[in-house]
Structures are given as structure tokens and as C-alpha cells.
Structure 1
Amino acid sequence: MACAVFLGLLLLMALVAPSQGKRLGPPARLRYSRFLDPSNVIFLRWDFDLEAEVITFELQVRTAGWVGLGITNRYTSVGSDLVVGGVLPDGNVYFSDQHLVDEDTLEEDGSQDAELLELTEDAVYTTMRFSRPFRSCDPHDHDITSDTMSVQAAYGLDDTPRLDRERTFVKSIFLLQVVHPDDLDVPEDTIIHDLEITDFLIPEDDTTYACTFLPLPIVSKKHHIYKFEPKLITRNETMVHHIILYACGNASVLPTGISDCYGTDPAFSLCSQIIVGWAVGGTSYQFPDDVGISIGTPLDPQWIRLEIHYSNFHNLPGVYDSSGIRVYYTARLRKYDMGVLQLGFFTFPIHFIPPGAESFLSYGLCKTDKFEEVKLGDTPSWGSGKSLPWIINGTQLRTICKDDSYDFNLQETRDLPHRVEIKPGDDLLVECHYQTLDRDSVTFGGPSTMNEMCLIFLFYYPRNNISSCMGYPDIIYVARELGEEASDSMEGMMAMNNVEWTPESIKKAEKACKEAQQMVIIKTIDETVENTTGWIPDIIPPPRGPCLESSGGKVEPQDKTPAGSRAAPAALSGSGTATLRCLSLAALLFGQGALSWLLATLQAGV
């Protein structure tokens, strides 16, 4: 990739006429955009070329001073990369690839890996457009990956670049999105229907799961839901953690009113087949043009359970809410009926994570022997990453979806670039990576924001009757490996509180959980349960692709070993065509496909 050579930040370059900045003809349209600050002063557009592994950014800021954009670690700004530019009063531009050596000090990179495409200033905005490789050979440049990226933007009121915390913002973004709503069909006969709770008094508790049962749209013939979005009351947005619609079997006897989903009345936990869901940080989502959620046939659900998870951490009294999910549906049918499959670690009561762990891996196995062929298309936690390896005949074929930088506050749908066909007998394994250095007691699986989950939800086609396939380790074996006696699963879990947790015992627990036999629970939409068993194979980390050297600037010898990490592009192999997508729903991973269309939402907890 060609990159310009810049000798210094303030080196004047006569690129354009004064007061105009640098222009290189009409700019190409960038498909993605986002405001990066609460006041909507900083606006980012971007697009990328997956084959060339190059990303283009356009930063527009309401300032006449300098602007900067880069990638940072969400835990510290030290080491962040920041591409800096601006237009001087005489019309000359400055532009430089830099990094933060401490929280306040910028230093120019030895290798200039950002290529300036446009830099202009008018009476309102300074606009900087540039491109850079996903992975350069400069250790000061963070890799652009399919993980959650912490995008940092900064600006000043003059042309002296220096960081001011009041003008520096960090936002988590999935930069490498694949499908964009502008690329999708919007049927002219679209009908909108709201599934919502009404005037619900949010309890003053930290965590509340409120459930009610509602009818789906009544139609005289088959329709397809092709889009959904959250319907939130503005003043309550920070209290709503997630919203999920569960399909109810048509033989279900359903209660009325609103109650605790997992309280004393078990009827309010009926219906476990997820249709769609939203979680904090998410937005609307539209399915690809060939799939939709079927309604209106005898095989389709007529009712749903609406579940809303409230996090009232400030214990505010007297707050009423009417949130829900808005669905868009059409009589213009798509080619495939879509379903949702829940994968991961069977949450309660088996899941545990030791305290004080720098790293702890949990695994949930799904064995698909009882599945029909499917195509896949398209996490609250302290987990630092999650992945979904795909295993055939005991051999790992590839990792379908992963996120090594999970952010609790960004849980939205992700689209993967290809469809994948999963055949009966293939194994799907959810791997969750946790860090609990700030914990002094064991964290158990459960529904609260303070509990943990390790789940993925996949959109797939063609739809079948299976709603979930989750695994958990033989906890009695794990307890005994840690020197604790247990005669049943509950005793095994309680024994975790007796363990003296040290780095050695943490690793011993992780090893025992992986080596133990996995119990796999498969559930259908009608709540029928089947059990099987399996074993966790060795997991191979995805390989890293080659870095791209700048054609200008200086690349030090140590730059050949970049600090970032990126999986090498991998062509999907397998028998048949499939769809793959990733959806991040608070702990949800949605996939498109009959298990072939994987919209995976890497989640750590709902």
C-alpha cells in the first residue's frame, strides 16, 4: 500500500490552494457512520476493502484546529495510535501518523502507515479523510480486526496538537461490518407492529426481569418479519439492559399480566425459543433479502414472551417504562424461513469463574447429531473475549466468530462475510475468556448483571424445531480434581467456595473443566429436552496474516513483529453454501442460516 512520507507534524506541504486544504476529486461514498461524542461534534464515516485489507476513515469535527483519529486500548490511552491532521491559517495542511507515549504526549511514528486522501477546513468543519492497512508492520499501530474496536477521536481549537481530556472521546465500534441497511431491500408493503410493555413500574432493585405475553401480528396468510429495532423510552435508556422476544409453542397455556420472569410463578419463564433480541449499545437490524421470520402459518408461533432486563443500579423510585421491540413485516415472502439457535455454557447452576483470574476459559459444547442440515449466516461480563470454533469429526475446521475485545456496552448484531453449512454430527463450541482480577469471590452463572453468562445466539435457515443446544462440564469431576468432595452437582458447585484460589488452582480448575465430560442439553421450542455427552477438543487459535509495510517512512527491525493481533483471512470451506453472521446481543450471538447462516452475537452475559 502506498503511503506518503511525512517528516514532521508541522512540516508544511503545498498540497492545495490556501484555505482549501487537500482535495483529490469527488470522494467515494463511505457506507458506515457514527457520532463519537455526546454533543455530536465529532462525526466519523468509514468503509473498508476486505480483500485488500485496507480501511478508509473520514473524520469531520466542528473546529478550525487540529483533529485526530486512531485505535486505543479501552483500559488505557497509553500506546494509542492517533492519525493527526489540520489546515494552517495559510491553507497548507499537516498530517502525521502518531502514537501516545503517555496520557498527554504525542510522538510521531517512525513508519508512516496512514495515507492522506483529503484534508479541508471551512467556516464550520475540519474534515480529514485517510486510509490505512488493517495490520501494518508498525508496533505503534493497532490492528483493525473483526473484534470490538475502541476508536479514539480528539481535536483542538488551534493547530497545536495536544490532548485535552474534554476534547478526547473513545467509542466502541464494530468497524468491519459486512451488511449495511442501505444495501438491503425495503418492501413497499411494510407493516409495523410494536410488542411492548405498558406503564410498568420499574422496581428499585438492581436487577429486574419483567415478562409479559403478547400476540404476534394477526395475518390471514404467511408474512415475513424482515427487520426489528428497540423501542425505548428516552429517559429510561440507561436502565434497559436487554429486550428479548421468545416464541411460545401454540399448545402453551400462558398467564396474563406482568411478572418476574424467573420468580415464584414458573409460568412466566415459559417459552425459550428466541425470535429476536436487543441489548445495550445495539440499534435496529435488518435481515438479508433472502431470509425472514415466518408468521401467519399453522407452524408459526402465535404468541411471544416479552422479556425486559432492567438494571436500576441507582435504585430510583417511581420510574415507569413502556419499552419493547418494533418489528417490520411484509407479505412479500423471502426464500428461507429463519430460526434462532442458542449455544454456549448451560448457565445455571453449573457455571462458575474463580476470583482473581488473569485469564479463565469456559466452554459450552453443542453436538448436532440430532439436527437436520442447517445453514448459518449470520456478552454483561468481565470476559475479555469469546469465540465459536466449528469442529467436524473431532477436527477444528475454523473459528466462525470471535471477539477478543468484548464490551458490555456494545452488544449488537454482527454480520460475517460468508454463509456456512453445518451438517449433523458437526460440533459447535463456544469459548469464553474471562478476567476477574477485581473479584474476591467466585462468580456464578445466573441472570443478574452481577452474574455471568457464556452464550451465543445464531440466526440460521431452514428453521427447525430446536431452540437451544448447550453444554456444561461434569462438576463433580472438577470438584474432585480441586481436592473437594462432592456427591452431586449442587455440592460440586458449593465446593467452589471452599477452594483457596491461587494462580495454580485457577489453572487447575480451567484444565479440569476442559478435560471433564461435557453434558449437552438440547431443547426444542415445545420445551422437549434431550441429553447427550461429548468432549472438548484442543482449540487452535486462528493464524495471523502478514503485516503490510509502508512504502514510505522508517520501519525498525522490531516492527516486523507487530503488537496487534489479527486472524488471517480464511476462505470458508465445507460442503454446500451457507450464511454466516454475528450478532452481539448482551450475551447473544445470532447466526443466519439453517445453522448455516451465522449471525453470531458473542455474548458474555444477558
Structure 2
Amino acid sequence: MVFLFSRIKGMLYLLFLPCFCSAPPPLRFSVFLDPSNMAYLRWDHDEQEMMSFELQVCTTGWVAFGFSPHGDLPGSDIVTGGVFPNGSIYFCDYHVVDEEDDSQDYQLLSVTENETSTTMLFKRHLWTCDPNDLDITVDTARLVTAFGPDDTVQFFKGQRFSKSLFLMRYRLPGGPSGDSSVSFLFQFAVPVEETKYACTFIPLPMVKQKHHIYKFEPVITPHNISLVHHILVYACGNASVLPTGVDDCYGANPDFALCSQVLVGWAVGGESYQFPDEAAISIGTPWDPQYIRLEIHYSNFDLLPGLINSSGVRLYYTPELRKYDVGVLQTGIFAFPVHFIPPGMSGMLVPDLHVFACLLHTHLPGRGVKAPQYRNGKQLGIICEDSKYNFRLQEIRDMKEILVIKPGDEILVECNFQTLDRSGITFGGPSTMNEMCLAFLFYYPHNNISSCMGYPDILYIGGMVNGKDNENEMFAVEAVMAIDFVDWDNETVKIAETAAKEAEQVVMIKTINELQRNETGLIRDISIPEQAACHNISGHLSVSGPRATANLRLTAAGTSGSSTAKETASLPLLSLTQLVFAWLILASEYGK
């Protein structure tokens, strides 16, 4: 018999729930929720759209866990539980605005306590029918955890933590035996600049037969984790003539920008990644790259002097070959001024691509990314998306199922941005204070295409937002400068968004050997798939038994400092291309 406490309409009752259950299956995924490793979460989900959680916290008092719209307690959907000194247990679903939630949608499996910690095992459906519950989706989840020293629940007086986490994971990595590894690192004196891209060229391991790189992980200099924004490894064509040393990737020497096919990548918040059992990156054959370009983006926001960094990436490889060779297709919006966000807003013949994972990337204003797929003008679905994107949690995410992209299919990358904290326009560019809108698709079998990116007709957009005749000739740099001087308000933001969507898109397809072909495209409408039916379990709980006399008190007052969610304006643009000339002219004009 399981004893469950639940407070309904201000009263605390003891629930008697018969338990006819065997031991639950082990939970596959786990993480510490706080820097001091006080709270440990294990979780898993099943085909019945049910997610199970096990929370272990170093306390013998109350514990709480749940979901937050923005990472703060106000507005959170949480559960609390614990064990009273007499051995009885309590558990309740709360909404941290109205105290207890009238709809109890979390199911308790057990609450246990020992001399040092409390463990709470419970589950809930991904989509409940309670408007106070936040859905569990493929978006980034903002988790909140809190606990106290005794059994008086006081959210705003206990210890609290917030963590962004991707919950909808689908597999645990395996691993071959007898593997080898190689680390690609370089020492670099980080300048006193807000943004710096440093590159060097390094040979891949010399192996006598074909091997597969099945795993990679970041190697970050201790105490410099906040300094390194991203690490990319590019495969170089074997006909490339490469420079030596370390230099600015996109500076005066254009040779340091050679090699554009992404091999592996890491960004803020990411961890190691292991490819699926059926595919990995090939090295050691005459067709494989012999050199890589290692690119590290440093963000020295505090302009600290004397920083020496020796970060990089470690690759694991093995002669135990997998069935397919992995490739990475880079898609998105070109990171130069043809991509802009106003202030104050909320092909080539290739075989079918079997996409198994993706990495989404924007900078600070990014609030959401999605990449739908189209065939013959009809949307098939969304390859990957995150409508609650968090800049500090950028990780490679596995697909639930392998998705097939056929020759002739179209991929659209749409980003939502919020620039309420900015007074000037935000242009696309390499700096963290500039913006990007990218989706990296990990697929097999490998082909020669490194990127498929595009940009809108900036002359058309410039003419529309400035109310000028679009047929008047204007250089691209003039159009960009004209956009920068627009008096932005709700009306001009809407005009710019419409113009960016209506404008003809130039799509650039590039190979590993830097061959390029341009085509034209358009931005199609995105249809939102219907959400699965919700599950209402609240009515399954029945109250019986005597009223409990224990003291369970919720203090949910004192919400000062809470923020009001603001509407984010959406600026959907397609892929990327190079207008470096316009960017350099614009930079030189502003530098005068």
C-alpha cells in the first residue's frame, strides 16, 4: 500500500493508493542539477508518452522539482514531496502562483529517506490537460529544483537551482573496444577583444587502413569554460594548399578560412557526442581528408588581459567499422549583414541523406529555431526544432527516428529573435553580439556537399523598408547601410519581416573542394503539426481516510524580481552565402 498526501482546496488529506506493480525498468538518462552535486536527476520516457523521474537530493526535509517558463520559480509547474518524522510521506502537484494545483497530474511511485538524502520517484504524461502544467516537448526545458532542511515547504526560503536540459533523448551511446584517441589543441593568447576566431591546420592520424571516428568531446582549459564559445573541426580537401601556424580565421590572410565542410562541432553547453552504432566518420582511405582546420571562437566579454587558452577537441577512432560514413550538412542564414534583426522586437545530385541528429545554433537574441523539410512544394514535417532555445545549452540532439532527405527536397531554417534589450539593429556576423541562424544536420551516407545556405535579396528588402523604388539600382552595401538608418517601430518591423519572406533567396551549395553553385529559392509557409492528445489523470485520484494533522505549509509569496514574458517577433529567413565584400565595405565606412 502506498500512502500519498495531497492538499486540495487548502486541506491536507491522506490518500490510499493500492500498488500492484513490479520493479520499474531502469531510467537511462541522468544529470546533476546543481554545481555542488546536491541534486541528482534520473529520467526516461516510453511509447505511452509517459516520462518517469527519480530525484535524489541531499536533505532530510522537503524537496521540489518541476518546469519553469523562464527558469524562475514564479509560474513554475512543480511537485513537492518528502517524509515526515513519523515515517508518513507527502507529495503534491503545485503551480507557483496559485499555490496548490487543482489538477494533480503527477503520479507518485515512491518517496524514501535515509540519514542524508531524500529520493522521490514519480511520473507524468508529456502532455497533460492542465493549463498550469508545462508540456514536455523536444524544446529545451527549464528545470527548477528546491529543497529545505525540514518538512515545512517554503519555496522562497529554501535552496533553489535552475538548469536548462534537453529531456527528449532517445539513446545511450555504446562503444567499441580497443579504441584510440587523438587530441587537437593549440595554445593561444586570447586578445583583449570581445570576439576572436583562431584557426590552425592539423593532420589527421595516419592509419594504415580505414578507421571510423565514433566519438568526440571538447577539451576546455580549466576555468576557461565561459571563454570558449564554440569549437569546429573542418575537413580539408586533399588538394588544398594549407598555411602553417595559428591566425585569425577570417582576418587578413584568407587561407585561414579554407576548408568549409564541418566534421564535428561543439558549442556552449554541449558535452561529448557518440555517433549511432550504424555510422561514423571515415578516415584512412584515399578519399578521406588528411588535414583538418581547427576553429575556436573566443568570447572575452569582460576584456580580461593575459588569458592563455589551450582548448580543442578529442576524437576517438577505431578499426571496428560501421555500416555507413557520416557527413554533416550546414544549413541556415549567411552570417553577414544580409541577415539582420531590427531592435525592440520580440541541387547537386546526391544520394538520400539519412539524418540522425542535429545541432541548432544562434547567438544571444535567439529564442527559437526550427528546420522544416519540403518535397515538391509540400511540407513533410520538421527535421528539428527548439522553440525555447537557450544560448547556453547548445548540444547535438538525436532524432527519435531516422529522417530521409531526398534529392530536390528543400530545407528551411527559421529563427525567432528577441532584441528588446537593444537599441540598434543586430546584423549577422561572427561576433557573439552579431547573430547567426544555423542548423547542422548529421547524416549518412557521406557525400561531397558541405553546405547548402542562402540569403535574401537585400536590395528588395532595403527598398521596401525605406519606401523606395525597388528598380532603382543600389549596391548591396548601400542597402545594408540604409536598413541600419531605418526608424524602427512595429510597422517597419512588420514590413521588414514581410519583405524578407517575399524576397527571392539565393541558395549557395558548396562542396568540400570549395566548388560552389548558386540557385534561387523562396521561403515557404511553415505549418505547425497538431499536438498529440493530452492525458488527464487528475480524476483518477480519490480522497479517503482521515485528515492528516502534520504541518505542510507552502510559502509562495514574495515574487519580487519576477519578469513578464514579452512577445518575441519572428524574422524567418532561409539559408546563407558570402557577401564578405559588402561586410568589409560597411565596416570600413563605420570605422572612418
TM-score (norm 1): 0.84
* Residue type at the aligned position of 2:519: T
- Assess if the C-alpha contact under 8 Å between 2:190 and 2:306 holds in 1: yes
Q: Deviations over 1:60-87 (max 9, x none)?
A: 1010100001000126432101100000
State the partner residue of 2:330.
342
CA contact (8 A) 2:4 2:14 kept: no
Match of 2:455 in 1: 472
In the alignment, the residues of structure 1 paired with residue 195 and residue 478 of structure 2 have an alpha-carbon distance, to the nearest angstrom, of 27
Instruction: Look up the equivalent residue of 2:479 and give its one-letter code.
Output: G
Structure 1 residue 458 displacement after superposition: 0.8
CA distance in 1, matches of 2:158, 2:450: 47
SS of aligned partner of 1:238 = coil
Give how far 1:98 is off: 0.4
State the partner residue of 1:54.
50
Match of 1:430 in 2: 413
Q: Structure 1 residue aligned with 2:95, among 90, 99, 102?
A: 99
2:372–2:382 CA contact under 8 A, matched in 1: yes
1:491 to 478, 481, 491: 478
Amino acid at match of 1:529: Q
Distance in 1 separating the partners of 2:368 and 2:141: 12
For structure 1, list consecutive stretches of 5 or more residues without a partner in the other structure: 17-21, 359-367, 556-587, 589-606
Secondary structure of 1:416 counterpart: strand
Q: CA deviation at 1:236?
A: 1.1
SS in 1 for 2:201: strand
Structure 2 residue runs without a partner (length 5+)? 543-574, 576-592
Q: Secondary structure at the match of 1:419?
A: strand
1:506 equivalenced with 2:493 (yes/no): yes
Contact 2:28–2:44 (CA under 8 A) maintained in structure 1: yes
User: Match of 1:527?
Assistant: 514
Counterpart check, 1:6 vs 2:6: yes
Residue 237 of structure 1 and its aligned partner are, at CA, apart by 1.3
Deviations 1:354-391 (A, max 9, x none): 11112xxxxxxxxx454333221122231211111110
Matches within 5 A, 1:246-265: 246-265=234-253
Distance (Å, rounded) in 2 between the aligned partners of 1:31 and 1:423: 33
| Alignment correspondent of 1:274 | 262
For the pair 1:208 / 2:208, whether they are aligned, the reply is no
Question: 2:197, 2:296 within 8 Å by CA — same for their partners in 1?
Answer: yes
CA 1:123/1:76 → structure 2, altered by over 3 Å: closer, same or farther?
closer
CA separation in 1, counterparts of 2:390 and 2:222? 22
Alignment of 1:233-252 (within 5 A): 233-252=221-240
Deviation of 1:258 after TM superposition, in Å, equals 0.9
CA separation of 1:369 and 1:217: change in aligned 2, threshold 3 A: closer
Identical positions, percent = 53
Who is 1:168 aligned against?
Answer: 160
Per-residue CA deviation, residues 467-501 of structure 1 (Å, 9 max, x unaligned), is: 00011111111111113556122211111112111
Q: What do residues 538-581 of structure 1 show as CA deviations (whole Å, max 9, x unaligned)?
A: 111222222111243799xxxxxxxxxxxxxxxxxxxxxxxxxx
Q: Note if contact 1:6-1:553 (Cα within 8 Å) is conserved in structure 2.
A: no
1:373 counterpart residue number: 352
In 1, the alpha carbon distance for the partners of 2:456 and 2:162 equals 38
State the partner residue of 2:184: 195
Instruction: Choose which of 187, 199, 216 in structure 2 pairs with 1:228.
Output: 216
Aligned residues: 532
Distance across 1 between alignment mates of 2:252 and 2:409: 38
CA distance in 1, matches of 2:11, 2:185: 56
Equivalent position SS for 2:223? helix
The TM-score, its normalising length taken from structure 2, stands at: 0.86
SS in 2 for 1:552: helix
Name the larger-Rg structure.
2
Instruction: Work out the CA distance in 2 between the residues paired with 1:165 and 1:407.
Output: 27
Q: Any conservation in 2 of the 1:261–1:307 contact (CA below 8 Å)?
A: yes
How do 1:71-150 residues align onto structure 2 when only pairs under 5 Å count? 71-74=67-70, 76-101=72-97, 107-150=99-142
Q: 1:425 to 1:203 in 2, by over 3 A?
A: same
Letter in 1 for 2:128: S
SS at match of 1:377: strand
SS for the counterpart of 1:234 is: coil
**C-alpha contact (below 8 Å) 2:146/2:158 kept by paired residues:** no
Provide Cα deviations, 1:187-228, integer angstroms capped at 9, x if missing partner.
11200111111x321112111111111111110111000000
Between the aligned partners of 1:528 and 1:333, the Cα distance in structure 2 is 30
Distance 1:28 1:397 in 2: 35
The residue aligned with 2:545 is: none
Distance 2:244 2:139 in 1: 41
Farther-moved stretch of structure 1 (5-14 vs 539-548): 5-14
SS at 1:496 equivalent: helix
Alpha-carbon separation, structure 2, partners of 1:330 and 1:11: 59
AA paired with 1:196? Answer: L
Letter in 2 for 1:6: S
Q: The residue matched to 1:482 in structure 2 has which SS? A: helix
Q: 292, 302, 306: which one pairs with 2:294?
A: 306
Q: 1:563 matched to which residue of 2?
A: none
- How large is the Cα RMSD of the aligned pairs? 2.2
Aligned residue number for residue 29 of structure 1 = 26
State the secondary structure of the residue aligned to 2:225. helix
